[in-house]
Amino acid sequence: MKALVYHGPGAKSWDEVSDPVIKEPTDVIVRMETTTICGTDLHILKGDVPAVTEGRILGHEGVGTVVEVGSSVATLEAGDRVILSCVSACGSCSYCHQGLYSHCLAEEGASGTGWIFGHLIDGTQAEYVRVPFADNSLHKVPDGVSDEAAMMLSDILPTGFEIGVRYGRVKPGDVVAVIGTGPVGLAAIMTAGLYGASRVIAIDLDDNRIAAAQEFGASDGVNSGVEGWEDRVMAMTDGLGVDVAIEAVGVPTTFTSCARIVRPGGTIANVGVHGESVELPLHELWIKDIAITMGLVSTSTTPMLLRLVAQGKLQPAALVTHRFGFDQMMEAYETFSRAAQTRALKVAIAR
């Protein structure tokens, strides 16, 4: 089969590799139909995730068809159309019993790390993929839900909701600021209304992305490259700051910005993947009673979000701006990596 292979920082190729095989009775093999590229893949290519070793097939999102089933798999059969969750869960360890699938203790790649696709085992940017713990790590796609919509349930939508909105403790009437209106930031904006946010302020350096954010549910947009932008945000909040500031980029500057615009008693929810240390101004934050949350998505809300997508309450397929074939994988990476120039949000890579 063909797959996107990582060859160390800055190096990748679309290679011919061996087909995956079932290794454990709880595995299935999925024929990938549609996959995509995540900002985390770009972090890996920069060398920000040293656990990813040379030769690894990248990717942790996608939709496909089950083609082979292990002997212990109970809920799936060949021909099922499924969403591949970015986080795998054995379903029986203490963390899985808490719904904290991101810290699954099963021995697959590394104990205690639920994100294994494209990280500790081969991922989804390939024609076929082996899925461990398939009964607990795949979701059947309801009729009427497109591949492009379903694919957003692999990672982006639950990440924005769980780590941004839910961890951010958004409650009815809150004013929420989302710094960084890339795909995960837009997912947080799209789902903030589920918890009753009264105002959602999209903050970015790119006016095109700010405009897109308002199509996904942002009530206001602020360009953080313009002098006095923080004063504009404060003016929208009676001068006190936002209730919840969601960091959705993963660089020190944006985290610092969150700390500046959050009100006393508010929450900073860090969603972005950081490749370097961030200064934490505790000498300023402690007296403001600020809570700081962060984490790796557990995808425990995926079934609920999937029901909302199936009912038309959420329309995540609108995040797809560019489409490619599997044989255009390298072109897809080029487009996604230059998102500021190409205006790419999510790319769909399909057979």
CATH number at residue 197: 3.40.50.720
The CATH number assigned to the domain holding 312 equals 3.90.180.10
One domain for residues 249 and 263: yes
Q: Are residues 288 and 306 in the same domain?
A: no
Given this model, what pLDDT does residue 108 score?
Answer: 76
3-class state of residue 263 by DSSP: strand
Task: State the pTM of this model.
Answer: 0.94
> pLDDT value at position 146?
97
Give the sign of the dihedral formed by CA 207, CA 212, CA 215, CA 218. Answer: negative
How many domains are there within the chain? 2
Predicted confidence (pLDDT) per residue in 300-335, tens digit: 999 999 999 999 999 999 999 999 999 999 999 999
In this structure, the answer to whether residues 235 and 316 fall within a common structural domain is no
11 with 143, same domain?
A: yes
pLDDT in the model for residue 112? 67
Check whether residue 289 and residue 218 sit in a common domain. Answer: yes
Residues 338 and 226 in one domain: no
- Cβ partners under 8 Å of residue 34, min gap 6: 62, 63, 64, 147, 148, 151, 348, 349, 350, 351
**HSE (side-chain half, CA atoms, 13 Å) at 14:** 14
What is the DSSP secondary-structure string of 111-157? TT--B-BTTTB--SSBSEEEESSHHHHEEEPPTT--HHHHHTTTTHH
Tell me if 255 sits within 8 A of 245, measured CB to CB.
no
Say yes or no: 170 and 271 in one domain. yes
Those residues of the chain that have pLDDT short of 50 are: none
Query: What 3-state class would DSSP assign to 351?
Result: coil
Domain limits for position 8: 2-155+299-350
Both 214 and 229 in one domain: the answer is: yes
Contacts of 349 (CB under 8 A, 6+ apart): 34, 35, 36, 37, 125, 323, 324, 325, 326, 328, 329, 332
Give me the pLDDT at residue 109, please: 64
Are 36 and 150 in a shared domain? yes
